[in-house]
Amino acid sequence: MKLSEILSQDAIIPQLRSGTRDGAIQELLEVLLRVDELSPQDGGQILQALIEREANGSTGFGKGVAVPHCQHWAVKKTTLAIGRSSEGLDFNSLDKGPVYSMLLLLSPANDQDRHLQGMELIFRHLQRASFRDGLRQASTREAVLELVAGIEA
């Protein structure tokens, strides 16, 4: 599995409009729903699950990144969306710092292996300061795609 395989070109928001955690999750989820051709009902359930997940334990893992994630039966394949906030979002992160990059992962409900592989892939790259800094600075969709292509070259 590669980032470029799960990240859709249309699921990148270089400048999130929303300044709140839940607003930003919804904004990013909306583009993923279109990419994955999911119904508004499924979208509503997924949004609720994502927000509940944050309430139970933040996915703001520190160092300016958050990885909201959810498995749902209507999701057919593992897909990733990336959103950037230049002001930073309050995710109640582990290190209490603001979140500048959001990586939202949706996976099918019945494929735990693939879900864990998707998370592994994301964190393998997020561990590297150069990737985190690159994401934070990538102000256009092309810049994000270039960054992702670059790390897998």
Which among 2-10, 63-71, 74-82, 139-147 is the span making contact with other proteins, rule CB under 8 A? 63-71
Phi/psi at 6 (5° precision) = -100, -15
Which among 5-13, 29-37, 54-62, 133-141 is the span making contact with other proteins, rule CB under 8 A? 54-62
Residues 22-41 that bind other proteins (CB under 8 A): none
10 touches 28 (CB < 8 A):
no
21 binds other proteins (CB under 8 A): no
Residues 88-117 that bind other proteins (CB under 8 A): 94, 112-113, 115-117
Dist. CA 95–CA 145, nearest whole Å: 28
State in angstroms the smallest separation of the CB of 128 from other proteins: 9
State in angstroms the smallest separation of the CB of 80 from other proteins: 15
63-101 burial, b at 16+ Cβ within 10 Å, e below that, comes to: bbbbbbbbbbebbeebbbbbbbbeeebebebeeeeebbb
119 binds other proteins (CB under 8 A): yes
Dist. CA 141–CA 147, nearest whole Å: 10
Dist. CA 116–CA 97, nearest whole Å: 25
Number of residues that bind other proteins (CB under 8 A): 21
In sequence order, the 6+-apart residues with CB closer than 8 A to the CB of 22 are 51, 54
Phi/psi at 82 (5° precision) = -125, 130
Considering only 62, 88, 97, 98, the residue that binds other proteins (CB under 8 A) is 62
Considering only 40, 41, 56, 110, the residue that binds other proteins (CB under 8 A) is 56
In the complex, the residues that contact other proteins under the rule CB under 8 A are 56-57, 59, 61-63, 67, 69, 94, 112-113, 115-117, 119-120, 122-124, 126-127
